[in-house]
Structure 1
Amino acid sequence: MPIPRATVRRTAARLGAVALTGALLAACGSGGSDNAGGDGRTTLTVDLFGSFGYKEAGLYAEYQKLHPNITIKQTDTQDEQDYWKSLQTRLAGGGGLADVQGIEVGRIASVTQQQSDKFEDLGRFGAGDLKKEFADFKWSAATTKDGKVLGLGTDTGPEAMCYRTDLFQQAGLPTDREELAAKWSSWDGYLDLGKQYKAKAPKNSAWLDSVGSLFTIMIGQEEERYYNASGELVYEDNPAVQTAWDAATKAADAGLSAKLDQWSPQWNQAFSAGSFATIPCPAWMLGYIKGQAGDAGKGKWDIAKLPGGAGNWGGSYLSVPRAAKHKKEAYELVKWLTAPEQQAKLFRKVGNFPSSTGAIAKVADASDPYFSGAPIGRIFGDAAKAAPVQVLGVHDKNVADQITNALSEVERKGTAPEKAWSNARKGVANVTG
């Protein structure tokens, strides 16, 4: 899930997470409680953004049963931006760090290129033997030029489109996933269908959640986005970025968005309120939807192929800080959580699509009754195979956040797209130095 992942993507940010308080931060630090009561048990602390699904899928409980001397304590921050800022503060000070820290895919280049001295080389514990178990792009992204392995991959974010069949019916639109995939084979087709929905939509229901999510899902279909392969910042001159920006601002101008900031309390509540009929949907979003829409949403949602082709949004890593108190034990937990068997369980239970090649084969036949029996193994498996291998830059996530923040100005404040783009450029300049 991470995010996610959105973020995830998953990223992300994901299911049911709450912001860390200062007390929680202290509790998850390297100087936190350990072997309390002298009973010989080791407490491993895990600090994540959103929900990676480990608790929800019962994996922590399973691991503790297999290792009676281990107790796992997890803390979460819902918003990945808040999580990353807090992590940077703790890395700089060297304290308050968990044994295991989650890293969003948009941050991994920063870790490998700028913070390799802050994280443990997992190769020291034998991680090199696991390389064959992961997709090449997932493994290489967390490996430094000199061969240090700074994280093991959790999930990836192959993309689809999730939609509310009950709201489609009320607006007189088709609900069959194959028919919809044909109607919105392009993004223009998706926006045209959105205009049809708006004309007959149920009260207080928009076509999509936010234009920021539209931009993010579209840019996830591109190999080169914000940086080129040489590490140069190229977003201003990249036609793919301009195309996604134009589509998002057109959607805002047409009034197709519910104008919700993703990961906000209002956005969370909107899943059960029917405030939007479609949401660009990387695999990790499935668990988030279930968590927010609850049992009442079962059978009301479905999943169709994404407009415009395959893409990837999000995916995360588990890393061990140099300041971790229990490095070897932390690595063993990370190794187990990211193994094919556990990745397959996560996908079937919460929707996080595997980065393990062995796990991908295990879930090819998966379907999900919550999403009207959608063949999620096939839908996301096909998307994963066709998704581009993305170029990741040091400030990839920061650039993306500045652009989506600017798009929020367009849809919520009525800021002219030209002015909002200028604001985005200024924001990018500030965060990239």
Structure 2
Amino acid sequence: MKRTLTSTRPGGTELSRRDLMRWGAVTLGGASMSAVLASCARAPAAAVTRGAVDLSFWTHDEAYATFFSEALPLAERATDFAYSLSVTRAGAADLVTKLLAQAIAGTGTPDVAGLEIGSFARLLRGTIATELLEDLTPLADEFGDDLIAARKAPFTKDGALYALDSDTPLTAYYYRADRFEELGLPLPAEAGTWEEFLAAVTPVSERDGVAFGAYSVGSDLGQVVQGFQLMLLQRGGNLFTADGDLSIETPEAEDALRVVTDAMRSGVFTTVTDYYGGSIQTALGDGRILGIAMPSWYASYGIKPNVPDQAGLWRVAELPRFAGGGGRTAVGGGTGFAALRDKPGTTAAVELLRSAYLDPAQQVKRFQDMGYLPTLRSVYDAPEMQGLTDEFFGGQDVFAVYREIVDDVPDMYQSEDVTVLNTVLSGALLRAYRGDISPSEALATAAEDFHGQVQDTRSDG
């Protein structure tokens, strides 16, 4: 397998000054961006239908490159292709920027791209996704209801699916079992509702200065919004509707934010600079944060690397419900793998996605290797997924917790304007956390600012 790990522009083709000026002119306007892509389109080269095929593979995470490279023998047994991969790695946001730039240049786009969920939203503008990405709906339809519908929603536009999600990132509660037992605290779901659980732990929080949740308030605006979004999704709301319209001025949004702000002001929830760096590492290490509600991948990428010395002390539990309604879990994050359309290797790329991501054994392997939960519902009941204990979590069968709540997984809808929302909503959330404005005022302010900025952006475009 060929491997090229680089942070420079993939493909080796430099954009001209005129191209760069044109790129700057179209990044805000969906219609004009689509026109540019159409004008740059070239007649498709002859498709490779069998034999040797070298696919250009872009990802932001080396673990994905390893996973797909290990899947090549499986794909070769299932198809008439002999695969090799040329791997390019870049930051999640940079990867999409480079993808669009190469599309404008008319050359150097990848065959397969792993698109982080927040960055993928940029491709929802106008007909960009339609112009660049292969429609994977026929592939998904082969699996029917077994392919969890909620994980198709973030990568769907106008009924067409453009990427296969790497995960079903269910939210659960990660907690210090030793401290909960020592303090005589109930597990979240056993307490009943979020409101009842927070009331039960408030006296301990006030007495000992410990927190039972953490929210990012740093410079990563997506993280700031995600903390609230997890609660909103569990409460039964969404940042956007299925059509991409803003949906934050709702009873569900106000209720979710009220619970967070009340817990923030009482000290039951605390703030951190981000979910991965020094501030949360210190707070977890010092025992000042005894629990946190986060998606399933946070076990592998947030807790274990931050406090390896606390192995055996942590456990995973279901979330409490909201008194006002909603479900037992939420989702956060994800990466969708897409095949670029009208390329010689498009068919081979789609078949690689089928083999690497939709084969049940590969879904088991993905969880074992990377901690990403299956996107096929049947795999949750597969014999290989039973009794998977984790010594970091005290030998607990953590997968059993996820299996119990997977049928409550909510849809998460996206919009081409998610970056605008992150900007305006994060500021409003921080003001609400400080007590400067009420939850309803924060949501109304963010909605007003969002609509104003989106209108101005589209007018300019």
User: What's the TM-score bracket when you normalise by the shorter of the two chains?
Assistant: 0.7 to 0.9
Cα offset, 1:53, TM superposition? 5.0
How far is the alpha carbon of 1:353 from its aligned partner? 1.4
Which residue of 2 is the match for residue 198 of structure 1? 205
Supply the distance in 2 between the matched residues of 1:144 and 1:214 (Cα, whole angstroms). Answer: 25
Q: Is it true that 1:256 corresponds to 2:276 in the alignment?
A: no
**1:89: Cα distance to partner?**
5.8
TM-score of the superposed pair, with normalisation by structure 1: 0.73
Q: Spell out the pairing of 1:26-425 with structure 2 (5 A cutoff).
A: 26=9, 28-29=10-11, 42=54, 44-48=56-60, 51=61, 54=64, 59-63=67-71, 70-71=84-85, 73=87, 75-77=89-91, 97-105=109-117, 111=123, 114=126, 115-123=128-136, 129-131=142-144, 133-139=146-152, 142-145=155-158, 148-168=160-180, 172-174=183-185, 179-201=186-208, 205-210=210-215, 212=224, 214-229=227-242, 231-236=244-249, 238-263=250-275, 265-267=277-279, 269-270=281-282, 271-293=284-306, 295-308=308-321, 309-314=327-332, 315-322=334-341, 326-339=345-358, 340-362=360-382, 363-395=385-417, 399=421, 402-411=424-433, 415-417=436-438, 420-421=442-443, 424-425=446-447
1:209 alignment partner AA: A
Q: Which residue of 2 aligns with 1:35?
A: none
Q: Is the 8 A contact 1:159 1:313 kept in 2?
A: yes
AA partner of residue 258 (structure 1): T
Give the deviation of 1:162 after TM superposition: 0.7
Give the CA deviation at 1:408. Answer: 3.3
Larger radius of gyration: 2
Q: TM-score, normalised by structure 2?
A: 0.69
Whether the 8 Å CA contact 2:331–2:409 is kept in 1: the answer is: no
Structure 2 residues without counterparts, runs of 5 or longer: 15-51, 77-81, 217-223, 322-326, 456-461
Change (3 A) 1:143 1:367: same
1-side partners of 2:295 and 2:110: how far apart?
28
Q: CA deviation at 1:280?
A: 0.9
Sort the Cα spacing of 1:297 and 1:386 in 2 relative to 1 into closer, same or farther, 3 A.
same
Shift of 1:291: 4.8
> Separation in 1 of the partners of 2:149 and 2:235?
18
Letter of the aligned partner of 2:67 in structure 1? L
Cα distance in 2 for partners of 1:276, 1:94 equals: 50
Any stretches of 5+ residues in structure 1 without a counterpart?
A: 1-20, 33-39
Give, in whole Å, the separation in 2 of the partners of 1:148 and 1:214.
29
Query: How many positions carry a matched residue from both structures?
Result: 388
Instruction: Return the alpha-carbon distance in structure 2 between the equivalents of residues 269 and 201 of structure 1.
Output: 19
Percent sequence identity over aligned pairs: 20
SS in 1 for 2:299: helix
Question: Residue 162 and residue 86 in structure 1: after superposition, are their counterparts in 2 closer, same or farther (change >3 A)?
Answer: farther
Change (3 A) 1:69 1:154: closer
> 1:268, 1:292 within 8 Å by CA — same for their partners in 2?
no
Q: State the one-letter code of the partner of 1:424.
A: A
Using the TM superposition, give the Cα deviation of residue 264 of structure 1 relative to its aligned residue in structure 2, in angstroms.
Answer: 5.6
CA shift for structure 1 position 278: 1.3
Does structure 2 conserve the Cα–Cα contact (< 8 Å) formed by 1:119 and 1:150?
A: no
Change beyond 3 A, Cα 1:207–1:97? farther
Q: Is the 8 A contact 1:399 1:428 kept in 2?
A: yes
Alpha carbons 1:344, 1:354 under 8 Å: kept: yes
Change (3 A) 1:353 1:102: same
